[in-house]
């Protein structure tokens, strides 16, 4: 499986990182080896002084497709989840400044948290889903899919122009504002509406 991530999909997060608003979605991939194993803690890697959490809505692909029209995009997924795109922000900033690919900052072992999924039919409208991240019991990131610059079905259309989507692939749809550094002993818990979909200990 592959993990396709969307960068800069929420205006407030673009502003907090002082990035330009893109004309097209920013895409990057994370290797499957970056997935944090279930129930394992996230270990801060020694090569970063500033690993940050990015909570994101996930879409799990259930059918192979290429050049998917947005009209039919709803047929290519039936589960929505929540995860964290951990980012070594210091390393990413250095790489970005040099115009280099930023995989090392986002694709390292453990950098991808994939929580539980919820069947799509349980949502009245996938473009109006509240989600949040709590750090040690306090809300630190909050978003709603309504605020995405590119909505789920537009993303499926756009991504599938470049990458064939296969069963089991997961799309990370971008983070809202509130990204921040994690510290040892933090606990990060992710929620869609009131359902807790993961809880991760930092070491």
> Which residues of this protein are in contact with Zn ion, per CB under 5 A?
54, 85, 175
Q: 72 vs 163, which CB is nearer to Zn ion?
A: 163
Compute the least distance from the CB of residue 103 to Zn ion, in Å. Answer: 13
Q: Which is nearer to Zn ion, 85 or 157 (CB)?
A: 85
The sign of the CA dihedral 8, 13, 14, 18 is negative
Q: Least distance in Å: CB of 106 to Zn ion?
A: 7
- CB of residue 51 vs Zn ion: minimum separation in angstroms? 13
- Say if CB 154 and CB 174 are below 8 A apart: no
- Residue 21 in 3-state DSSP? coil
Q: How far is the CB of 87 from Zn ion (least distance, A)?
A: 7
Cα gap 117→197, rounded to integer Å: 7
Strand arrangement, sheet containing 112-119 = 26-30, 3-7, 170-172, 55-61, 77-85, 112-119
For Zn ion, which is the closer residue by CB, 54 or 65? 54
Residue nearest to Zn ion (CB): 85
Asked if 126 and 146 count as a contact pair (C-beta separation under 8 A), the reply is no
Residue number with CB closer to Zn ion (92 or 175): 175
């Amino acid at each position: 499986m592959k993990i396709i991530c969307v960068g800069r999909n929420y205006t407030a997060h673009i502003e907090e990182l002082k990035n330009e608003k893109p004309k097209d979605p920013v895409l990057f991939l994370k290797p499957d080896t970056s997935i944090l194993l279930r129930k394992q803690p996230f270990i801060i890697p020694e090569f970063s002084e500033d690993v940050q959490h990015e909570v994101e809505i996930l879409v799990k692909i259930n059918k192979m497709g290429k050049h998917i029209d947005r009209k039919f995009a709803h047929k290519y997924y039936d589960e929505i989840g929540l995860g964290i795109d951990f980012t070594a922000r210091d390393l990413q900033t250095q790489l970005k400044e040099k115009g280099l690919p930023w995989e090392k900052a986002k694709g390292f072992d453990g950098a991808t948290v994939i929580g539980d999924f919820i069947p799509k039919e349980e949502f009245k409208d996938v473009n109006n889903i509240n989600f949040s991240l709590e750090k040690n019991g306090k809300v630190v990131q909050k978003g709603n899919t309504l605020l995405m610059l590119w909505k789920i079905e537009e993303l499926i259309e756009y991504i599938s122009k470049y990458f064939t989507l296969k069963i089991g692939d997961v799309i990370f749809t971008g983070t809202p504002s509130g990204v921040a550094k994690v510290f040892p002993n933090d606990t990060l818990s992710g929620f869609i509406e009131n359902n807790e979909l993961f809880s991760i200990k930092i070491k």
